[in-house]
Structure 1
Protein backbone atom coordinates (compact mmCIF):
# COMPACT_ATOMS: atom_id res chain seq x y z
CA UNK A 1 0.00 0.00 0.00
CA UNK A 2 1.15 3.48 -0.74
CA UNK A 3 1.62 6.09 1.97
CA UNK A 4 1.38 9.86 1.82
CA UNK A 5 5.18 9.91 1.47
CA UNK A 6 4.70 8.26 -1.95
CA UNK A 7 2.37 10.97 -3.33
CA UNK A 8 4.99 12.90 -5.31
CA UNK A 9 6.46 9.71 -6.80
CA UNK A 10 2.98 8.43 -7.74
CA UNK A 11 2.14 11.75 -9.42
CA UNK A 12 5.42 11.51 -11.31
CA UNK A 13 4.61 7.97 -12.57
CA UNK A 14 1.12 9.00 -13.73
CA UNK A 15 2.49 12.12 -15.43
CA UNK A 16 5.35 10.22 -17.11
CA UNK A 17 2.88 7.67 -18.50
CA UNK A 18 0.61 10.49 -19.73
CA UNK A 19 3.52 12.24 -21.46
CA UNK A 20 4.58 8.96 -23.07
CA UNK A 21 1.07 8.32 -24.45
CA UNK A 22 0.88 11.91 -25.71
CA UNK A 23 4.25 11.58 -27.45
CA UNK A 24 3.12 8.33 -29.12
CA UNK A 25 -0.53 9.14 -29.93
CA UNK A 26 -0.94 12.90 -29.76
CA UNK A 27 -2.90 14.94 -27.28
CA UNK A 28 -6.01 13.26 -25.86
CA UNK A 29 -7.86 12.50 -22.64
CA UNK A 30 -4.86 10.38 -21.65
CA UNK A 31 -2.68 13.51 -21.59
CA UNK A 32 -3.72 14.71 -18.12
CA UNK A 33 -0.87 14.95 -15.64
CA UNK A 34 -1.16 14.36 -11.91
CA UNK A 35 -0.15 16.41 -8.88
CA UNK A 36 0.91 15.24 -5.44
CA UNK A 37 -2.07 17.15 -4.01
CA UNK A 38 -4.45 15.25 -6.31
CA UNK A 39 -2.83 11.94 -5.40
CA UNK A 40 -3.17 12.71 -1.69
CA UNK A 41 -6.84 13.56 -2.20
CA UNK A 42 -7.33 10.22 -3.99
CA UNK A 43 -5.54 8.38 -1.18
CA UNK A 44 -8.04 9.69 1.35
CA UNK A 45 -10.86 7.88 -0.46
CA UNK A 46 -9.17 4.72 -1.74
CA UNK A 47 -6.48 2.09 -1.42
CA UNK A 48 -3.50 3.09 -3.54
CA UNK A 49 -1.14 0.33 -4.61
CA UNK A 50 2.40 0.84 -5.87
CA UNK A 51 5.03 -1.28 -7.55
CA UNK A 52 8.62 -0.53 -6.64
CA UNK A 53 12.03 -1.31 -7.96
CA UNK A 54 14.23 -0.73 -4.95
CA UNK A 55 13.00 2.56 -3.50
CA UNK A 56 11.65 3.82 -6.83
CA UNK A 57 7.89 3.80 -7.49
CA UNK A 58 7.44 2.44 -11.03
CA UNK A 59 3.72 1.70 -11.13
CA UNK A 60 0.48 2.54 -9.37
CA UNK A 61 -3.26 2.05 -9.31
CA UNK A 62 -6.12 3.10 -7.07
CA UNK A 63 -9.00 0.95 -5.78
CA UNK A 64 -12.15 2.71 -4.64
CA UNK A 65 -15.69 1.85 -3.69
CA UNK A 66 -16.94 5.07 -5.30
CA UNK A 67 -18.20 4.63 -8.86
CA UNK A 68 -16.35 6.87 -11.35
CA UNK A 69 -18.51 9.19 -13.46
CA UNK A 70 -17.79 7.32 -16.70
CA UNK A 71 -18.95 3.92 -15.39
CA UNK A 72 -22.53 2.87 -16.19
CA UNK A 73 -23.45 0.02 -13.81
CA UNK A 74 -26.00 -1.36 -16.28
CA UNK A 75 -23.14 -2.91 -18.28
CA UNK A 76 -21.78 -4.96 -15.39
CA UNK A 77 -22.70 -8.13 -13.52
CA UNK A 78 -24.84 -7.17 -10.50
CA UNK A 79 -22.80 -7.74 -7.33
CA UNK A 80 -23.20 -6.33 -3.82
CA UNK A 81 -19.69 -4.90 -3.44
CA UNK A 82 -17.95 -3.78 -6.62
CA UNK A 83 -14.54 -2.13 -6.43
CA UNK A 84 -13.40 0.33 -9.11
CA UNK A 85 -9.87 0.41 -10.47
CA UNK A 86 -8.74 3.89 -11.53
CA UNK A 87 -5.55 5.82 -12.21
CA UNK A 88 -3.42 2.86 -13.25
CA UNK A 89 -0.05 3.82 -14.67
CA UNK A 90 3.34 2.21 -15.18
CA UNK A 91 6.42 4.34 -15.74
CA UNK A 92 7.74 4.15 -19.32
CA UNK A 93 10.77 1.90 -19.34
CA UNK A 94 9.05 -0.46 -16.89
CA UNK A 95 6.14 -1.32 -19.16
CA UNK A 96 5.79 -4.78 -20.74
CA UNK A 97 7.96 -6.48 -18.11
CA UNK A 98 5.26 -7.59 -15.66
CA UNK A 99 4.88 -4.51 -13.45
CA UNK A 100 1.29 -3.86 -14.54
CA UNK A 101 0.33 -7.52 -14.24
CA UNK A 102 1.80 -7.64 -10.71
CA UNK A 103 -0.25 -4.57 -9.76
CA UNK A 104 -3.42 -6.20 -11.14
CA UNK A 105 -2.76 -9.39 -9.18
CA UNK A 106 -2.19 -7.31 -6.05
CA UNK A 107 -5.46 -5.46 -6.78
CA UNK A 108 -7.33 -8.78 -6.98
CA UNK A 109 -5.86 -9.85 -3.63
CA UNK A 110 -6.75 -6.53 -1.97
CA UNK A 111 -10.27 -6.60 -3.43
CA UNK A 112 -10.81 -10.09 -2.03
CA UNK A 113 -9.43 -9.04 1.38
CA UNK A 114 -11.84 -6.08 1.40
CA UNK A 115 -14.74 -8.47 0.67
CA UNK A 116 -15.16 -6.97 -2.79
CA UNK A 117 -17.01 -9.07 -5.34
CA UNK A 118 -15.65 -7.58 -8.56
CA UNK A 119 -13.23 -5.09 -10.02
CA UNK A 120 -14.70 -2.75 -12.63
CA UNK A 121 -12.84 -0.30 -14.82
CA UNK A 122 -12.95 1.62 -18.04
CA UNK A 123 -10.13 1.91 -20.55
CA UNK A 124 -9.66 4.08 -23.60
CA UNK A 125 -10.48 2.19 -26.76
CA UNK A 126 -7.99 2.37 -29.61
CA UNK A 127 -4.26 2.84 -29.91
CA UNK A 128 -3.82 4.63 -26.57
CA UNK A 129 -5.99 2.11 -24.73
CA UNK A 130 -4.96 -0.84 -22.60
CA UNK A 131 -7.85 -3.18 -23.38
CA UNK A 132 -5.68 -6.06 -24.52
CA UNK A 133 -3.68 -5.83 -21.31
CA UNK A 134 -6.78 -6.10 -19.12
CA UNK A 135 -8.05 -9.08 -21.10
CA UNK A 136 -4.70 -10.85 -20.61
CA UNK A 137 -5.08 -10.19 -16.87
CA UNK A 138 -8.42 -12.02 -16.74
CA UNK A 139 -10.85 -9.14 -17.20
CA UNK A 140 -13.93 -9.52 -19.40
CA UNK A 141 -15.04 -6.92 -21.96
CA UNK A 142 -18.47 -5.77 -20.74
CA UNK A 143 -19.27 -3.17 -23.37
CA UNK A 144 -18.18 -0.23 -25.45
CA UNK A 145 -19.38 3.33 -24.89
CA UNK A 146 -18.73 6.81 -26.20
CA UNK A 147 -18.17 9.32 -23.42
CA UNK A 148 -17.66 12.95 -24.44
CA UNK A 149 -16.71 11.75 -27.94
CA UNK A 150 -14.05 9.39 -26.52
CA UNK A 151 -14.51 5.62 -27.03
CA UNK A 152 -14.17 3.58 -23.83
CA UNK A 153 -14.34 -0.13 -23.04
CA UNK A 154 -15.73 -1.43 -19.78
CA UNK A 155 -13.91 -4.34 -18.14
CA UNK A 156 -14.81 -6.53 -15.19
CA UNK A 157 -13.10 -9.17 -13.08
CA UNK A 158 -15.35 -11.28 -10.86
CA UNK A 159 -13.96 -12.80 -7.68
CA UNK A 160 -16.25 -15.78 -8.24
CA UNK A 161 -17.92 -16.82 -11.43
CA UNK A 162 -21.59 -15.94 -11.20
CA UNK A 163 -23.92 -18.08 -13.25
CA UNK A 164 -26.61 -16.15 -15.11
CA UNK A 165 -30.24 -16.95 -14.24
CA UNK A 166 -31.74 -19.80 -16.27
Structure 2
Protein backbone atom coordinates (compact mmCIF):
# COMPACT_ATOMS: atom_id res chain seq x y z
CA UNK A 1 0.00 0.00 0.00
CA UNK A 2 1.61 3.24 -1.11
CA UNK A 3 1.45 6.10 1.37
CA UNK A 4 0.78 9.61 0.03
CA UNK A 5 3.16 10.93 2.74
CA UNK A 6 6.88 10.67 1.96
CA UNK A 7 8.37 8.02 4.21
CA UNK A 8 11.94 7.52 5.35
CA UNK A 9 13.92 5.24 3.07
CA UNK A 10 13.20 1.55 3.49
CA UNK A 11 9.82 2.21 5.19
CA UNK A 12 6.63 0.79 3.69
CA UNK A 13 3.03 0.35 4.85
CA UNK A 14 0.98 -2.80 4.34
CA UNK A 15 -1.72 -4.90 5.96
CA UNK A 16 -0.45 -7.04 8.82
CA UNK A 17 -0.54 -10.81 8.54
CA UNK A 18 -0.41 -13.73 10.97
CA UNK A 19 3.39 -13.77 10.81
CA UNK A 20 3.44 -10.26 12.34
CA UNK A 21 1.89 -11.15 15.73
CA UNK A 22 5.15 -11.51 17.65
CA UNK A 23 6.72 -8.38 16.15
CA UNK A 24 3.55 -6.33 16.77
CA UNK A 25 3.47 -7.49 20.39
CA UNK A 26 7.12 -6.56 20.90
CA UNK A 27 6.76 -3.14 19.25
CA UNK A 28 3.56 -2.27 21.13
CA UNK A 29 5.16 -3.37 24.42
CA UNK A 30 8.09 -1.02 23.76
CA UNK A 31 5.65 1.82 23.05
CA UNK A 32 3.67 1.15 26.27
CA UNK A 33 6.86 1.08 28.33
CA UNK A 34 8.10 4.30 26.73
CA UNK A 35 4.77 6.06 27.34
CA UNK A 36 4.81 4.94 30.98
CA UNK A 37 8.36 6.24 31.44
CA UNK A 38 7.42 9.58 29.87
CA UNK A 39 3.94 10.12 31.37
CA UNK A 40 3.63 7.78 34.37
CA UNK A 41 1.15 4.96 34.79
CA UNK A 42 -2.07 5.28 32.82
CA UNK A 43 -4.31 3.53 30.32
CA UNK A 44 -1.36 3.69 27.88
CA UNK A 45 0.67 1.44 30.23
CA UNK A 46 -1.22 -1.73 29.32
CA UNK A 47 1.15 -4.34 27.88
CA UNK A 48 -0.30 -6.33 24.98
CA UNK A 49 -0.14 -10.10 24.81
CA UNK A 50 0.09 -12.21 21.67
CA UNK A 51 -3.46 -13.44 22.40
CA UNK A 52 -4.77 -9.86 22.47
CA UNK A 53 -2.90 -8.96 19.27
CA UNK A 54 -4.40 -11.99 17.49
CA UNK A 55 -7.92 -11.05 18.66
CA UNK A 56 -7.41 -7.48 17.49
CA UNK A 57 -6.16 -8.68 14.10
CA UNK A 58 -9.28 -10.83 13.71
CA UNK A 59 -11.59 -7.97 14.66
CA UNK A 60 -10.01 -5.22 12.57
CA UNK A 61 -7.78 -4.32 9.68
CA UNK A 62 -4.27 -3.76 10.95
CA UNK A 63 -1.81 -1.62 9.04
CA UNK A 64 1.89 -1.87 9.80
CA UNK A 65 4.81 0.33 8.89
CA UNK A 66 8.00 -1.60 8.26
CA UNK A 67 11.55 -0.44 7.96
CA UNK A 68 13.16 -3.16 5.94
CA UNK A 69 11.58 -6.19 7.67
CA UNK A 70 11.11 -4.62 11.12
CA UNK A 71 7.67 -3.38 12.23
CA UNK A 72 8.08 0.22 13.42
CA UNK A 73 4.45 1.40 13.54
CA UNK A 74 0.86 0.23 13.47
CA UNK A 75 -2.76 1.34 13.48
CA UNK A 76 -6.01 -0.63 13.55
CA UNK A 77 -9.29 0.12 11.75
CA UNK A 78 -12.39 -1.51 13.20
CA UNK A 79 -16.09 -1.41 12.39
CA UNK A 80 -16.99 -1.69 16.08
CA UNK A 81 -15.52 -0.01 19.14
CA UNK A 82 -15.31 -1.78 22.48
CA UNK A 83 -15.98 0.23 25.60
CA UNK A 84 -17.73 3.53 26.05
CA UNK A 85 -17.94 5.43 22.80
CA UNK A 86 -20.73 7.93 22.21
CA UNK A 87 -21.36 7.93 18.47
CA UNK A 88 -23.86 10.79 18.87
CA UNK A 89 -20.88 13.14 19.26
CA UNK A 90 -19.93 12.53 15.63
CA UNK A 91 -21.35 13.64 12.29
CA UNK A 92 -24.09 11.17 11.33
CA UNK A 93 -22.81 9.02 8.46
CA UNK A 94 -23.72 5.73 6.84
CA UNK A 95 -20.40 3.98 7.45
CA UNK A 96 -17.50 4.70 9.78
CA UNK A 97 -14.34 3.01 10.95
CA UNK A 98 -12.75 3.43 14.34
CA UNK A 99 -9.05 4.29 14.43
CA UNK A 100 -7.46 2.37 17.28
CA UNK A 101 -4.03 1.71 18.68
CA UNK A 102 -1.89 4.06 16.60
CA UNK A 103 1.66 3.40 17.78
CA UNK A 104 5.13 4.16 16.45
CA UNK A 105 8.26 2.59 17.92
CA UNK A 106 10.05 5.15 20.13
CA UNK A 107 13.21 5.30 18.01
CA UNK A 108 11.12 5.98 14.87
CA UNK A 109 8.94 8.83 16.16
CA UNK A 110 8.91 12.22 14.44
CA UNK A 111 9.83 10.71 11.07
CA UNK A 112 6.37 10.90 9.47
CA UNK A 113 5.45 7.27 10.15
CA UNK A 114 2.34 8.02 12.26
CA UNK A 115 1.13 10.55 9.68
CA UNK A 116 1.73 8.05 6.88
CA UNK A 117 -0.20 5.35 8.75
CA UNK A 118 -3.16 7.73 9.14
CA UNK A 119 -2.97 8.75 5.48
CA UNK A 120 -3.03 5.07 4.52
CA UNK A 121 -6.04 4.60 6.80
CA UNK A 122 -7.78 7.51 5.03
CA UNK A 123 -7.00 5.98 1.65
CA UNK A 124 -8.43 2.67 2.83
CA UNK A 125 -11.58 4.50 3.96
CA UNK A 126 -11.95 6.31 0.63
CA UNK A 127 -11.46 3.16 -1.42
CA UNK A 128 -14.02 1.22 0.63
CA UNK A 129 -16.66 4.00 0.52
CA UNK A 130 -16.33 4.54 4.26
CA UNK A 131 -17.69 7.96 5.18
CA UNK A 132 -15.64 8.74 8.27
CA UNK A 133 -12.82 7.75 10.56
CA UNK A 134 -13.58 8.23 14.25
CA UNK A 135 -11.22 8.08 17.21
CA UNK A 136 -10.69 9.18 20.76
CA UNK A 137 -7.51 10.51 22.34
CA UNK A 138 -6.55 11.02 25.97
CA UNK A 139 -7.10 14.55 27.24
CA UNK A 140 -3.68 14.33 28.82
CA UNK A 141 -0.11 15.08 27.74
CA UNK A 142 0.07 11.40 26.71
CA UNK A 143 -2.77 12.01 24.27
CA UNK A 144 -2.13 12.81 20.64
CA UNK A 145 -4.89 15.33 20.01
CA UNK A 146 -2.68 17.96 18.41
CA UNK A 147 -1.15 15.29 16.20
CA UNK A 148 -4.59 14.12 15.01
CA UNK A 149 -5.61 17.71 14.29
CA UNK A 150 -2.43 18.20 12.25
CA UNK A 151 -3.43 15.11 10.24
CA UNK A 152 -6.80 16.58 9.27
CA UNK A 153 -9.01 15.22 12.06
CA UNK A 154 -11.51 17.57 13.67
CA UNK A 155 -12.31 17.67 17.39
CA UNK A 156 -16.02 16.92 17.84
CA UNK A 157 -16.57 16.22 21.52
CA UNK A 158 -15.32 15.18 24.90
CA UNK A 159 -16.25 12.44 27.35
CA UNK A 160 -14.86 10.54 30.28
CA UNK A 161 -14.50 6.81 30.78
CA UNK A 162 -13.13 5.11 33.90
CA UNK A 163 -12.15 8.53 35.31
CA UNK A 164 -10.13 9.28 32.18
CA UNK A 165 -10.99 12.29 30.04
CA UNK A 166 -11.15 11.56 26.29
CA UNK A 167 -11.51 13.84 23.28
CA UNK A 168 -13.34 12.64 20.17
CA UNK A 169 -11.98 13.36 16.68
CA UNK A 170 -13.34 12.62 13.22
CA UNK A 171 -12.19 12.77 9.64
CA UNK A 172 -14.87 12.82 6.93
CA UNK A 173 -14.08 11.06 3.66
CA UNK A 174 -17.25 10.49 1.69
CA UNK A 175 -20.00 11.93 3.87
CA UNK A 176 -23.48 10.92 2.81
CA UNK A 177 -26.57 11.99 4.71
CA UNK A 178 -28.00 9.24 6.88
Is the shorter-chain TM-score for this pair beyond 0.5, marking a shared fold? Answer: yes
- In 1, the alpha carbon distance for the partners of 2:129 and 2:49 equals 30
RMSD: 1.3
Query: Which structure exhibits the higher relative contact order, with contacts defined as CA atoms closer than 8 Å and separated by 6 or more residues?
Result: 2
What TM-score do you get using the length of structure 1 for normalisation? 0.94
Which stretches of structure 1, 4 residues or longer, exceed 4 Å deviation after superposition?
none
**Distance in 1, Cα, partners of 2:113 & 2:32:** 17
Tell me if 1:103 matches 2:109: no
Deviation at 1:161, TM superposition (A): 5.9
Conservation of the 8 A alpha-carbon contact between 2:131 and 2:174: yes
Determine if the alignment matches structure 1 residue 136 to structure 2 residue 150.
yes
Q: Which residue of the partner structure matches residue 88 of structure 2?
A: 74
Aligned-residue offset at 1:54? 0.3
**2:71 is the alignment partner of 1:33:** no
- For the 8 Å contact 2:126–2:174, the answer to whether it is kept is no
Normalised by the size of structure 2, how large is the TM-score? 0.88
Matched, 1:146 2:146: no
Distance in structure 2 (CA, Å) of the matches to 1:24 and 1:107: 27
User: In 2, distance between residues paired with 1:64 and 1:70?
Assistant: 15
Spell out, residue by residue over 1:80-124, the C-alpha distance to the aligned partner (whole angstroms, 9 max, x if none). Answer: 101001111110011111000000000001112222110000111
Secondary structure of the corresponding residue to residue 93 of structure 1: helix
Count of residues in Structure 1 that have an aligned counterpart in Structure 2: 163
1:162 CA drift (Å): 6.8
The match for 1:52 is 66
